[in-house]
Structures are given as C-alpha cells and as structure tokens.
Amino acid sequence: MTIGRITNHQILLAGIWHLVENRMSKKAIVTAIAVCLFLVFLAVGGLGWAWVNRERAAVASYRIEVPADARAADLVVKETELMMSREVLQPVIGELDLLARWKLQTEEEALERLRSKLTVKAGSLADRVRVVYRDRNQERALEILAAINRRFVAARREASREGDLPPVVPINPVRP
C-alpha cells in the first residue's frame, strides 16, 4: 500500500466532506466557507494597509570622543537634549515650511511632531551616536534629517567649543 503526499487542499476537502456526511446543511457549509474567506480577506487587507502606511526611516550616525572620566550614556543624553532643542529644530520648521506642509497652526505643534519622530540613541559601539527620523515618506524623512543635521552641526560645534560636549571624531579618518 502506497501513501502519497496529502496536500492542504485535500485536507480541506476532506473536512468539508466530513461535514456533509454528518448531515450539516449546505447553507451552513456555504456560510462557514464564506465567513472563513471573509476573515482571510480582512487579514490580508489589514496587512496590506499596514505595509503601505508603515514609516520609513532616515538614519545618521557619528562618533564622539568619550573622555576617560565620562560615561557614554551621559553624553548621549546631552546629545539628545541638543538635537531636540528649539535652537536646532525651530530653524528647520521655517526652512522646510513645515507648518504649511503639515497644515499645523503653531510652531509648538511642529516642534512636538519633529521631536516625536526623531530618535537619538547610543550606537552599536560606545562612542557612536545614532540619529533616526521616521516618516511615511522616505524622501521627506531624508530631507528633514538633512536639515536637522545642518542646524545640529553648527550648534554641536559651538557646544564643543564651550566645553559642554566633547568633540566629534570622524568615523573614517583620513590617514596620511
């Protein structure tokens, strides 16, 4: 006796046939199949909607010089405070006309939106800082992160001169 490979379709048909043999009405069987198909379409539609509306990320990272007497985590907190500061983000709102683009009434609303989509955290190595900006539109995420970066570089350079933050170190330094 040879037993072949049983497919999912055969199992499904066997289950339906079992229902028919047990005198389940055709109307009940058709209703059960319709409900199952509806649930499958609903799940696929929900996954498709989530995929279309997922947020894309623009990512930047840089390296900081961590003094021997400092903790990298404390420095990342300071980096985050500077990156999220009004000094860095407010010019971005005007430069990219985010109030009009986002149809917002006040700069405070725009600042909150920027801050909610911006993440600053420690990188994979202790001396790295990773910056992520999320948006549903990839090009817009890159544009906003680039504008933030331009403003941050100037503010960061000033903070480094004043001794509030250690200097930034090139990730791939040029060697003579």
Query: What confidence tens digit (pLDDT) does each residue in 21-79 have?
Result: 666 677 777 787 787 777 777 666 666 655 555 678 888 888 888 788 878 788 888 88
Q: State the pLDDT confidence band at 86, using cuts at 50, 70 and 90.
A: very high
How confident is the model at residue 174, as a pLDDT? 45
The domain defined by 56-169 folds into: Alpha-Beta Plaits (3.30.70)
Encoded tokens for 58: 């623009």
Mean pLDDT on 114-142: 87
CA distance linking residue 138 with residue 142, whole number of Å = 6
Mind listing the pLDDT tens digit for each residue in 14-31? 776 676 666 667 777 778
Provide the sign of the torsion angle of the four alpha carbons 168, 142, 102, 55, taken in this order.
negative
The residue extents of the domains of the chain are: 8-52, 56-169
Burial of 134 (0-12, 13-18, 19+ CB in 10 A): middle
Which phi-psi region, left, alpha or beta, contains residue 135 (left: φ > 0; alpha: ψ -120 to 50)? beta
Neighbouring-strand partners of residue 169: 63
Q: Tell me the average pLDDT across 126-142.
A: 87
Average pLDDT over the chain, rounded to whole? Answer: 80
3-state DSSP assignment of residue 8? helix
Share of the chain above pLDDT 70, in %: 77
